[in-house]
Chain A
């Protein structure tokens, strides 16, 4: 069974600083996909970044990067130069090979202060 663990219920960071949100996963499959989503107070889930298990390089999308450590089964999200608008819940999710469904972690609330 898939499992996603986000151990940080909340994180605080000052504007313009970098922050790392932790995510570990558990799967016996060799092929899988890892996703990060942002959920602001409005509720909509916004896709941020994707990492495939066979991708040799860490994924990057603008200020977002994914620190993928396959042997440790971790897929941490790094946000560089935090902005006030980054304050939101962040969810890590995984899709196993052959499935279209995602398993989500419980999320981390990020608060960015001026």
Chain B
């Protein structure tokens, strides 16, 4: 069966520091991968999605970037964090047909101070 891992689970970082969040999927090949952010008490905002290695689309222009160094690994990065980057970051995967249902990881709670 497929599983998705995210780490770290929680992170507290000072403003201006770098960021690296990692997401790994097991048990499937060539997944679509997604990064979402959820601000406190709000819905999900899609940040990036990838349909393959070196194929990453950005949905929201900001100081975040994403990379996919391996087929089942998706990394969210920042060179300098802002206070507004605080939130709950969720990674998800899907495999296309027939319903292309997205399955989510446990999330990373990021606090920028």
Could you tell me which A residues sit within 8 Å of B by CB distance?
33, 35, 37, 42-47, 50, 52, 91, 95, 100-102, 104-107
- A102 and B102 contacting across the interface, CB-CB below 8 Å: yes
Instruction: Name B's interface SS.
Output: strand
- B92 and A100 contacting across the interface, CB-CB below 8 Å: no
- B43 and A45 contacting across the interface, CB-CB below 8 Å: no
Known: A35-B102, A37-B104. 18 other contacts (CB 8 A): A33-B100, A35-B101, A43-B106, A43-B107, A43-B109, A44-B105, A44-B107, A47-B102, A50-B101, A91-B43, A95-B100, A100-B32, A100-B51, A100-B94, A101-B46, A101-B49, A101-B59, A105-B43
- A45 and B49 contacting across the interface, CB-CB below 8 Å: no
Q: Does B44 contact A (CB under 8 A)?
A: yes
Q: How far is the CA of A43 from the CA of B104 in the complex (A)?
A: 10
- The size class of the interface chain B forms with chain A is 20 to 34
Contact partners of A52 in chain B: CB under 8 A = 99
Q: How far is the CA of A42 from the CA of B10 in the complex (A)?
A: 12
Could you tell me which B residues sit within 8 Å of A by CB distance?
32, 34, 42-44, 46, 49, 51, 59, 88, 90, 92, 94, 96, 99-107, 109
Nearest chain A CB to B2's CB is how many angstroms away?
12
- A47 and B101 contacting across the interface, CB-CB below 8 Å: yes
Q: Known contacts A91-B43, A101-B59, A107-B43; is A45 also within 8 Å of B100 by CB?
A: no
Nearest chain A CB to B109's CB is how many angstroms away?
7
Q: How far is the CA of A33 from the CA of B99 in the complex (A)?
A: 7
Q: Which of B34, B43, B88, B99 contacts A50 (CB 8 A)?
A: B99
Contact partners of B51 in chain A: CB under 8 A = 100
Q: How far is the CA of A91 from the CA of B92 in the complex (A)?
A: 15
